[in-house]
Amino acid sequence: VPVCLCACVPVCLPMPTAPADSTLVSKCAAFDAFSAGKRPAGGNVVRGVRWSPDGSCLLTASEDCALRVFHLPSEVAHDAYATTCAAVEAERGDGSGGGDGAATASENGNGAVTGGGGGDSEEELRPALRIDEGESVYDYAWYPLMSAHDPMTCCLLSTSRGRPVHLWDAVSGTLRASYVGFNHLDEVDAANSVVFEPSGRFIYAGYERAVRVFDVTRPGRAIETRPTAATRKSRDGQRGLLSCLAFSPDGSGLYAAGSFAGSIGLYVDNAKAHVALLGGHTGGVTQVQFTPDGLYLLSGARRDGRIIAWDVRNTCQPVAEYVRSSPTNQRIGFDLSRDGSHLFTGSPPGGGRPLSPPG
């Protein structure tokens, strides 16, 4: 199953539930990286892909329990990097551009891209880095202030079955730190979801009926545990495995937690109890994501053919629903363009569909 990077030529529409009439042009793709070596029974399925915050890399998780980092061709990554570099450095607050140790694996010639040659031709991507977790990867996340020009910021989180949360160096592939959650029997408890809060100082991890907070500078145990429900059968709070987490980009401290029990909780980072509990999905929630302005929250679920949009200022009713195909328990991802003008969703058996998000 390949990873394809496409360029979209959008047609601006009002807020419909039908897909926008856009042309998807494949600019580069990764085929060989997932077919080489030992393959799991049934094939090496790509389970997800994430852009780096500076737009220069892609991070994938696949069925072979591996994370791969791909450096994008310069002509593809240049525009994304140029538009985000200033914002990333402004958030870091030093404006330094990362010091003098700026070389990455691809810049050193260690090979992210071969093939094609630009223009509209499709290039074959090769991974600049592979990290073997050894168990099924549940979730993964880039450091939010990551810049390819500052190797210290090039790191990522992962959580997998039966393992602590790991912080990996995205240049060398070495393990920088581990963060361990423990259950009521003091046994290691694997997180189901992980996310950095926007400043990058803390890690939030989702567990069974709890969010645990870790200090990035203090590996080991969590500094705080925030229960979301007292018991599995409790009528109060958010029950189930917390399968996905997302922070609002507006700096308010608001974050969302999706549960396999079908609910979405809205929380703030300075309080333990939820400020709102949203329903509406018929299956377990697999993804939550805020729009760039922080005003809307999008959510998707397994066995539920809708992406639901919520106005976080008034959560009584959804403001929009976008129809897609989601007939199985498979996680089907979606993403927003950086300006929030277009919403893209995966659609089995492959490909993607552009939709117009709220706004």
**pLDDT tens per residue across span 164-187:** 999 999 999 999 999 999 988 888
Least-confidence region, from 14-23, 37-46, 74-83, 99-108: 99-108
Reported as a single tens digit per residue, the pLDDT across 31-47 is 778 876 666 766 788 88
State the pLDDT at residue 86: 46
Query: What is the per-residue pLDDT for 124?
Result: 84
Higher-confidence position of 41 and 207: 207
What pLDDT, on a 0 to 100 scale, did the predictor assign at position 101?
29
Q: Is pLDDT of 5 > 60? A: no
Q: What is the pLDDT of residue 25?
A: 66
pTM for the model stands at 0.81
The answer on pLDDT for 84 being more than 60 is no
Query: Given pLDDT bands bounded at 50, 70 and 90, which one contains residue 329?
Result: confident
For range 225-249, the mean pLDDT? 91
**Amino acid 339: pLDDT:** 85
| Residue 349: φ, ψ to 5° | -85, 10
